[in-house]
Each structure stands twice: as structure tokens, then as C-alpha cells.
Structure 1
Amino acid sequence: MSFISRLFGSRGGAADRAQDTRRGPDSVQASRLPPANHAMRRELLRVTLRDTLRRCGIPLGWIGAEVLSGSSREGHVGLHWQLSVRHWDPRLVMRMVALQNNLVSRLLAVDPMASQWLLGLSWQFALADESACPPLPHPGSWTSLEDTPMAQAAGAHPGGGSADVIAGPVRIEDTGSAAHAELEQRLAARDADFLARPGGGGEATEPMYLSTQPARLR
């Protein structure tokens, strides 16, 4: 089960409401804390994002966050964590699920009661420059086996950075046919010169090995 499922998967269920009732009024009241107590939780979310990005090696300016106050259908007052991508990088987009799980895991490690006051987590793109973002591919490419996400991400990086990487298709001219024809001509000329020489096979000559003859008895 993912961390997101652990955090939000069971909220609002009848079983959980019954469990909250068995826990006592203190537990139920803890999930309905007034907004005045959210200042420390806002700071916790900010520090969690900062530390997680540093641990993962992601520049801090690539991802921003906004904390919104809200309430659930059951009347639970809490916070909504809205993360924004501010820098385009295909590697980051492909690993957003892993980054999200890492954020939630670290948050729950610091505050195990975060599932009581964090109402949700969402992503949005807030890029200052969208020129580097690729356009939508052909509609049929989404179900094609050849166009995989890894191939698309690799194609987004400009070539020429490494001598071991071929940036695009390379066409190698087929010179084998010409070389083979030239070799055939040389062999034919050599055979003709050999046959033209005396004893070269152009005229009948005595064989090198004669047939064995029985010796006569004296």
C-alpha cells in the first residue's frame, strides 16, 4: 500500500468514524482543531518539503508549495498541501510519484497524526517558461509499444553531450557491392592471364601425377 493510500485512503469511512468514537472525545477533537493551531503545521509542511528536496538532490527552486485551509465533508478542519512544479525537467516528471511518497513518508515520520489534519495533496505546473515542454504526441502513440516513457524522456535531452550516445539515426552507405564487383574483375583478369601462359591450363599438358604401372618380373 502506498503512503498516499495510508494517508487518505481510509478517511471518511464508516469504520474509521466508529473507531474515532471508540478512541474517545480527545481523538475526535484532535481532528477538528481550529485554524489557529495550523501555523505550526504549515511550518512543518514547509520544512518537510525543503528537507526532502535536499535529501533527494533536487534544487529547492524547482518545486514550490502553498498550504490552503479547508474542511472535509465530515466537518474536519485541516490543511491542503498544493505542490507546484516551477522548473521543467523530464526526469522530475517521471519521478513525481516517488517524490510524493517520499514527502508523505517523511511527514508521517515527524507527525504520525498528520493523517488527521492533512486533507489532501495536489500538484500543479507553474512554469515561468514552457518553451522546453514537448507537445502532445500522435494520438496512437499512447498505446504503442514502441513509444515508451523512457524513450520519450531520452529523446527530450539534446544530443552531443557524450561520445557514447548517438543523438539520432545514422545512415551508413553500403559500399560492399562496389568492392565486391571490383574484386570480381581483378580475379577474372588474373585468371585470364594465368590461362594465357604456357602450361597455365589453356592447353593440354602432361598431368603432374601419372597413374601407377605394375613392375615387370625379370
Structure 2
Amino acid sequence: MNFHSLFGLKSRPKPLPAKAKTIAAEGPPTIEDGSANALRRQLVQVLLRDVVRRHGIPPGWLDCQMLVVSSRSRGEGMYVRLVMRHWDPRLLNYAVAFQKALMVDIMRFEPRATDWLYGISWQLEVGDTCPYKELPNRSVWQEPAQKPSHQPPQKPAHEPTPQDELKTDLERIFAIRDSDMLMRGEEAGRPARAYAKTEPQKLVNP
């Protein structure tokens, strides 16, 4: 599924002749209503709102702008500019992850986005919400960076061995077999006998 089918377009716009492409490249690139660039801008804006909503980021903290550029080597393309409207250090910490999630969604709906999407940039327009008005002393940059508050999950103290996994699988198999025997006895009209709990044979190391 691409952005043309997402917005109800039956087919892709026909490519411009070579001469028309040259003329368009010479003039200022624009986003006209109904053009492919307009649909691309709408697609990115919709996906941005979806990523913000899906990950619980307050609406209004992030916005996006689409910039149309013309390159001699690649032709006409677009840049996505993510604008931070509200200061929060978490947005900076997870900016790379957010950009990656947005790019994954764009590629899912428009696999050929690499043909026209030249890159993603960030711009800070947070006004007075940022408490850091001036740069700190140079010694700050020489101190070791603080570890992020989000730590990866710690590994269990005891790593399961292959024998542990085999023992667990055997216990599950025996439990299923015992339950099946009890159910078949009840269905046959025989009173369910009290089966002794089956214990797997202990594994002996060679």
C-alpha cells in the first residue's frame, strides 16, 4: 500500500517530459494542491500524528514542515523538518528513536520514498519553555555523561542451561499426557482414577 492508494489516487501521476523537468528544476520548487508533493506532505503529516499518538507524546509538542528542493544530481525531492514546539529532555533523548519510527512508517506506506525523501532534520522552536538559556562552563563537556534513567533489563542471576530447558519440556509433556488420560477416562464413563503424578526421570550427567 502506498500513499496514492492511501489517499484514493487510482494511479501515479505521469512523469513529466525531459524538457518539462528541466524547466521545473530551473524555477522555485513549490507544493501545489493535488500534486505528488502535496500528497507526500499530507502522508508525512498523517504518519507523524499517528506516531505521536501511538507513543503517547502530547499533541502540539512536535510539528513537521516539508521543504521542496531541486538537486542537479537527484532532481526534485523533499526534506522533512521535525519542529520541536515544547521543551522536554525526553524528546531529545528519544529523537533518534522517534525519527526511526517515523521513517519505518513512511517506508511501509510508500516503499519508493527513498526516491524523493532526501532526509529528516530537526528544529527547536521551544520559546521560553527551555530552562537552559546559556551554554555552561567548558568543564561540563569534559565530565562523563550521566547514564540514562532507562536501563536495559538485567539478565537473570541463573542462566538456564540446556538440561534445565529439557527438564522443563519433559515436565510439560508429562502434565499434558496425565491430563489427557484423565479426560479420556471421564468421557468413557469410567470414574477418573487417581493417577500418581508422573515425575520425569532425573537427568544423569555422563
Name the TM-score class by shorter chain: 0.5 to 0.7
Residue 113 (structure 1) aligned with residue 83 (structure 2): no
Number of the residue aligned with 1:59: 58
| AA in 1 matched with 2:146 | T
State the superposition RMSD in angstroms: 2.5
Cα shift readout 1:174-201 (whole Å, capped 9, x = no counterpart) = xxxxxxxxxxxxxxxxxxxxxxxxxxxx
- Work out whether residues 87 and 130 of structure 2, in 8 Å CA contact, stay in contact via their aligned partners in 1: no
Higher share of residues assigned helix: 1
Kindly report which structure 2 residues correspond to 1:182-197, keeping only aligned pairs within 5 A, or say none: none
Kindly report which structure 2 residues correspond to 1:67-106, keeping only aligned pairs within 5 A, or say none.
67-106=66-105
**Aligned residue in 2 for 1:141:** 140
Query: How far did residue 120 of structure 1 move?
Result: 1.8
**Structure 1 alignment gaps of length 5 or more:** 1-25, 152-218
How far off is 1:93 after superposition? 1.0
Tell whether the 8 Å contact from 1:88 to 1:133 is kept in structure 2 after alignment.
no
Q: What is the rounded CA distance, in whole Å, between the counterparts of 2:61 and 2:147 in structure 1? A: 21
**How many residues align structurally?**
121
Structure 2 match to 1:150: 148
CA distance in 1, matches of 2:47, 2:40: 10
Displacement, 1:45?
A: 0.6
**1:171-186 counterparts in 2 under 5 A?**
none
Which runs of 5 or more structure 2 residues have no equivalent in the other structure?
1-14, 25-30, 150-206
Secondary structure at the counterpart of residue 91 of structure 1 = helix
Judge conservation of contact 2:86–2:129 (CA < 8 Å) in 1. Answer: no
Match for residue 8 of structure 1? none
Larger radius of gyration: 1
- TM-score norm. by structure 2 comes to 0.52
Q: Provide TM-score, normalisation by structure 1.
A: 0.50
The residue matched to 1:60 in structure 2 has which SS? coil
Are the counterparts in 1 of residues 53 and 59 from structure 2 also a CA contact under 8 Å?
yes
